[in-house]
Chain A
Amino acid sequence: MWNLALLLVVLALAVPAARAQQVVGDAIPTSLTGQPGDAGRGRAIVASRNLGLCLLCHSGPIAEERFQGNLAPSLAGAGSRWSEEQLRLRIVDGARLNPDTIMPPYYRTGGLQRVARNFQGKTILSAGQVEDVVAYLATLRD
């Protein structure tokens, strides 16, 4: 009885999440959480060495981070080049756009090999963090 109740709760949670991640063309049209993200928190995630990791590969308009990467294009102007919907898919799973990309899939757990035990079954960012990053990138306009 208890288990059945739990199962129903899990299903109730799982179904909207699955629907939210629907890919349409080169974009994910709706927020993963149903809520808009917070650009301030998104900036902190992008700048962080152990959360977003973005500046390992990218450079961006984050002056206090002296060490930035040059494996990938600058994030400056990303919000002019792409819509929030397109940015969302890029962060969730860039391999959907470019199968050879080196950009990590930030919101996918399937199809990964030999993931370290403490990260198994976990996404790099949570749904809320992805939305925060998308909100921040959208503010980066040329």
Chain B
Amino acid sequence: MMRLRIGLCLASVFVASLALAQGGIDKRRSGYQDMGPSLQKMQDDGTANPGMLFVQLGAQAWATPAGAANKACVDCHGASGATMKGVALRYPAIPEGADTPADLEARINLCRTANQKAAPLPPESRELLSLSAYVAHQSRGQPIAPPDDPRLAPFRERGAALWAARQGQLNLSCAACHDDNAGKKLAGVTIPEAHPTGYPVYRLEWQTLGSLKRRLRNCLVGIRAESYAYDSPEYVMLELFLMERARGMAFEAPAVRP
């Protein structure tokens, strides 16, 4: 049953990419399309989108030297950030010399520790969110494009298995809501298809910017399941699965969500 579910999950991912390649109509919906016009406008308007404040903070952090190496991101990656164009679209990926995938936040922290010789930035810290918003913003409007690295496949498959597995006191899987009941109302809320198109997002309920991990933790808490630790590989596996499932969809970071 479980295996069948996973098989179906991955199969539907490939069918979606195939339909896209053949120019079929893409029925996938970003959370953006489930929002009312006023929130859509807030996201689209650079002066109204609160996420853009984090992009500006990120631009400052990008140019500020840090760590024992006393180097800034600009020193190696250029002042404009243009070298980061397209980068967020293909994470999680396996960094040079590593054998497990890292998501964008972890990749930035790798530069903190290896290149700046500084302490890693804590999860959900203002500085890490700002830097990832700055990097992610360089890819706004481009299609999500996970790398064709065969080493990622086993991690992505484990992500698909996590997606399909029931968990928590409420005994629900991610798929039960986001595949089988997307578009329906959970109390007053439209269940989105859960595409990772907008992260980091400014969520009104949080009153701040937050990472995809934080969003996944919210759903785990909702079904009364134990959250994974922030640095646990399970999130990266789920992120790999979600990015493949959203391949070709337009990237919107920093998005706004209710």
CB contacts under 8 Å to A, within B193-216, are: none
| Complex Cα spacing A33 to B188, Å | 34
**A104-122 vs B: 1/0 string, CB under 8 Å?**
1100000011111101001
Chain B neighbourhood of A68, CB < 8 A = 185, 187-188
A102-B172, A104-B169, A124-B170 are known contacts. Are A114 and B225 too (CB-CB below 8 A)? yes
**Among listed A2-10, A36-44, A49-57, A73-81, interface-contacting one:** A49-57
| Complex CA–CA separation, A55 to B186 (angstroms) | 8
- Count of A residues near B, CB < 8 Å? 24
* B40 on the A face (CB < 8 A): no
- B170, A104: Cβ atoms under 8 Å? yes
* A70 close to B (CB within 8 Å): yes
B167 within 8 A of A: yes
Q: Inter-chain contact count A-B, CB under 8 Å?
A: 69
A115 and B185 contacting across the interface, CB-CB below 8 Å: no
B186 near A119: Cβ-Cβ < 8 Å:
no
Residue contact B187 to A113, C-beta cutoff 8 Å: no
Q: Check B171 against A119 for contact (C-beta < 8 Å).
A: no
Asked if A66 is an interface residue, CB under 8 A from chain B, the answer is yes
Chain A at the B interface: SS class:
loop
Residue contact A67 to B188, C-beta cutoff 8 Å:
yes
- Given the interface pairs A66-B188, A67-B188, A114-B167, the reply to whether A104 lies near B226 with Cβ below 8 Å is no
Say yes or no: A116-B221 contact (C-beta < 8 A), given A66-B188, A71-B186. yes
Does A71 contact B169, Cβ atoms closer than 8 Å? no
Question: How many B residues touch the partner, as a band?
Answer: 20 to 34
CB A123 to nearest CB in B, in angstroms, measures 8
Whether B186 and A117, one on each chain, are in contact in the complex, defined by CB atoms closer than 8 angstroms, is: no
Residues 220-254 of B contacting A (Cβ, < 8 Å): 220-221, 224-227
- Chain B positions near chain A (C-beta within 8 angstroms): 165-172, 176, 180-181, 184-189, 220-221, 224-227
Given A49-B187, A102-B181; 16 other pairs, CB 8 A cutoff: A53-B170, A56-B186, A66-B188, A67-B189, A68-B185, A69-B187, A71-B185, A71-B186, A95-B171, A114-B167, A115-B168, A115-B224, A115-B225, A117-B226, A119-B168, A119-B169
Chain A to chain B contacts (Cβ below 8 Å), 29 pairs: A55-B187, A56-B187, A57-B186, A66-B188, A67-B185, A67-B187, A67-B189, A68-B187, A68-B188, A69-B184, A69-B187, A71-B181, A71-B184, A71-B185, A71-B186, A102-B172, A102-B180, A112-B167, A112-B168, A112-B169, A113-B225, A116-B169, A116-B220, A116-B221, A116-B227, A117-B226, A119-B169, A122-B169, A124-B169
